[in-house]
Amino acid sequence: MPPSSPPLDTIARQQAAIAAGETTAAALIDEACARAEAPDGAGGPIFLAHYGDAARQQAQHADAMRAAGVDLGPLAGMPVSIKDLFDVAGGTTRAGSIVRREAEPAAADAAIVRRLKGAGAILVGRTNMTEFAYSGIGINLHYGTPANPWDRENRRIPGGSSSGAAVSVADGMAVAAIGTDTGGSVRIPAALNGLAGFKPTARRVPQDGCFPLSFSLDSIGPLAASVACCALVDAAMAGEDPAPLPEVPVSGLRLGVAQTLVLDGLEEPVVTAFEVALTRLSAAGARLIDLPFALLADIPQLSTAGGLAAAEALALHRKDLERRRQDFDRRVAARILNGATISGADYVDLLHARARLRREADALTAPFDAVLTPTCPRVAPPIADLENDDAAFGEANLAMLRNTASFNFLDRCAATLPIHRAGEAPVGLMVVGETMGDRRNLTVAKAIETALAAH
């Protein structure tokens, strides 16, 4: 049997333990790496490259610098994993694909890698992902699929596309992970693995050195044990002040509960967890207001052929698809090739429609501190149910992406936090903020997290 997952730990608790002399960066890194490297563990499909030896050396250096009174930054000594989309100097960025297995090694670190290292983080490895980040399920036919730690016996999906990122944190192999989110690829795996996750406003975090899926929709965000952890890592990547989030009571917050589209077809565990969360927030003094949000129904209709993501992905991958289609995951190839049905005029119309819906949504949500929805309409299904059934895969993929992708289209920031009871199927609550209102969104999400934790 693989070792069981440890209780989730926060960055603040790990840093406090180091400061109190109860542990060291070397001990934390060694424990995280040992879990990833255990022969009977689950680390194999989680990491496409593991940096155990280098991470241990860096941790010893961090401890020596700390002993000498040197401040290495807000993430000093913390084990962090990165998705296989980010360049690390000297390594090959495969993007979860065998198509890029022989690509030239990166000449320099990605911008967010430089910033994480500058904040003192210790990279423990590159995590597995859906090929080219194009699915919310997390299955990878080339490198294997990490099983969700919640129910590994039945091998349930991890969520995608940042599959290994979520499992690396849930399994104690990192205290935080960096993923990307084009249609939900941070929030979906975070929700399905019982984690917090944050999708920033796309333009806030630099994407230099990140292999793209859709330049209109891509964003880079963290997955971790708490909203505060996500806020600290997000600040480091955005080059902002890493000061703690302010303490704001949930009482008096105006929270719009979106009604259109996002509540359709919810599975019973999601319905129950969402209703309980809303009841507890109301009891804590939050003002919950049903928000029709009718324009959300327009978004899937605009993306029936894959929308912006398919068109932009085809522009990136078409030459490889012409030469090496057999090396692509067939489902990923099919989704990219949908972009061929989108004409130049269609693409321009889509950009105009997006701008219009963004303006309408901005006016609609301006009176609220945040908008609430379930992050995913379902709990994680078994991998076997989807692996060999294209129709079931396609239906589940669209369902998992539906709620999260709507807010990527609207260029919003959004957090997810777990709302299920311990031992039950993980369910996420999505807290949607305003464009470039990231710090406020994280503050509100933390207030909600604190209020729910009180129960």
- Residues known to be catalytic: 83, 161, 185
Residue 383, token pair as written in the block: 């991998």
Q: Rounded to an integer, what distance in angstroms lies between the CA atom of residue 430 and that of residue 424?
A: 18
Q: Give the neighbor-by-neighbor strand order of the sheet with 196-199.
A: 47-50, 122-127, 79-83, 176-180, 220-224, 196-199, 414-418, 428-432, 370-374, 254-258, 287-291
Task: Tell me the residue ranges of DSSP E strands in 201-305.
Answer: 220-224, 254-258, 287-291
Q: Rounded to an integer, what distance in angstroms lies between the CA atom of residue 194 and that of residue 177?
A: 14
Helix (H), strand (E) counts: the chain = 16, 11
Q: Rounded to an integer, what distance in angstroms lies between the CA atom of residue 429 and that of residue 408?
A: 16
**Per-residue buried b or exposed e for 302-341, using 16+ beta carbons within 10 Å of the residue's own CB:** bbeebbbbbbbbbebbeebbeeeeebbbebbbebbbbbee
Q: Rounded to an integer, what distance in angstroms lies between the CA atom of residue 453 and that of residue 448?
A: 8
Radius of gyration of the chain (CA): 21
Q: Rounded to an integer, what distance in angstroms lies between the CA atom of residue 367 and that of residue 344?
A: 37
Length of the chain equals 455
Q: Rounded to an integer, what distance in angstroms lies between the CA atom of residue 36 and that of residue 141?
A: 21
Cβ(237)–Cβ(223) below 8 Å: no
Residue 178, token pair as written in the block: 């960096």
